[in-house]
Amino acid sequence: MGTPEFPDLGKHCSVSDCKQIDFLPFTCDRCHQVYCLEHRSYIKHQCTKADKQDVTVVICPLCAKGVRLVPDQDANITWENHVNTDCDPSNYEKVTKKKKCPVPGCREILGFSNTIKCRDCSVDYCLKHRFGPDHKCPGPRKVETSFSFRSLLNGSKKQETKPQSSASASSRWSTSFVNAISNIRASAEAGVSKLSEVNQSWWTESVGVGPSNSSAQVEQCPQCGAKFTSVTTLVDHVQKVHERSGNSSGAKVTIDACPKCSRGFRDPVALVQHVERDHGGNSRS
């Protein structure tokens, strides 16, 4: 075997009936034996470990899961281990149940190639009902917001049943904006009227007793400029001096006080904004 220069060159085939010397032998990756060109395949040399690295999976009829058979282990032992440890019959319906198109009356089974997800409602449909009008798409989910101005503005837009065709987009927007502002003004005045009633009842019960932080505030009369340390004193001054005396030098001014901090406001809208911003929208003392 070999040559004088290369005595280890070439090897004999491992097949007993062949034993041919091959200078370019093949080594089997399963049984690790040396074979010639003719017997290099598993079938030709009848390899006993041809299925050593094969992956064989059997579908369990109880849970529809795949069970891998171990080459060096008996299939009955592998099956018994799966039934005792990993088998879950409740999973059979989830695996075998085929997903269908949710459109009423459509029996199309959704697969990899015929499934389209709607961009608006994010639901899978078949190719026939992939468009919004075909599956009656409700549209994207609207984000709810607590901003009252936007809701009033949307309500004012719905009230416009027949807009004039000649009016431009800017004029329609201006009309909607003015209507929304008027609605806010009306709601604010209604809220302030209720707050005024609460203020009067609260003042009558706590006359002479002010909040803890009222000492740091200075209230000024809008007609004569006199300064007072509390809103109650200012209201009594306006009623006694300017209203009962019939002084007509200045216009009659109505002052509403905050029930929480006793701060006075001449504009009812400013009072409502103050209550919502500084007291969290709670007008109760």
pLDDT of 228-242, one tens digit each?
777 778 788 877 777
For 57, phi and psi rounded to 5 degrees?
-120, 130
> How many Cα atoms sit within 13 Å of 157 on the Cβ side?
11
Which stretch of DSSP H or E encloses residue 102? none
Predicted TM-score (pTM) of this structure? 0.28
216 pLDDT higher than 60 = no
Residue the block writes with tokens 């999973």: 91
Higher pLDDT pick, 90 / 54: 90
Residue 36 has what pLDDT? Answer: 93
Q: How far apart are CA 232 and CA 200, in angstroms?
A: 10
Residue partners of 196: CB distance under 8 A and separation at least 6: 256
Angle ∠(178,184,187) on CA atoms, nearest 5: 140
Which one is predicted more confidently, 70 or 27? Answer: 27
Whether residue 230 contacts residue 214, with contact meaning beta carbons closer than 8 Å, is answered with yes
Q: Give pLDDT tens digits for 37-51.
A: 999 999 999 888 887
Confidence of residue 256 (pLDDT cuts 50, 70, 90): confident
Helix axes 169-205, 148-158, angle to 10 degrees: 130
What is residue 14's predicted lDDT score, i.e. its pLDDT? 92
- Pair 12, 19: CB distance under 8 Å: yes
Which two structure tokens, joined as six digits, stand for 13?
């085939």
Lowest mean pLDDT among 74-78, 98-102, 124-128, 243-247: 243-247
How far apart (Å, rounded) are the C-alpha atoms in residues 179 and 61? 69
Please count the helices (runs of H) and the strands (runs of E) in the chain: 7, 12
Q: Which residues of 148-183 are buried (b: 16+ CB within 10 A; e: fewer)?
A: eeeebbeebeeeeeeeeeeeeeeeeeebbeebbeeb
172 or 34, which is more confident: 34
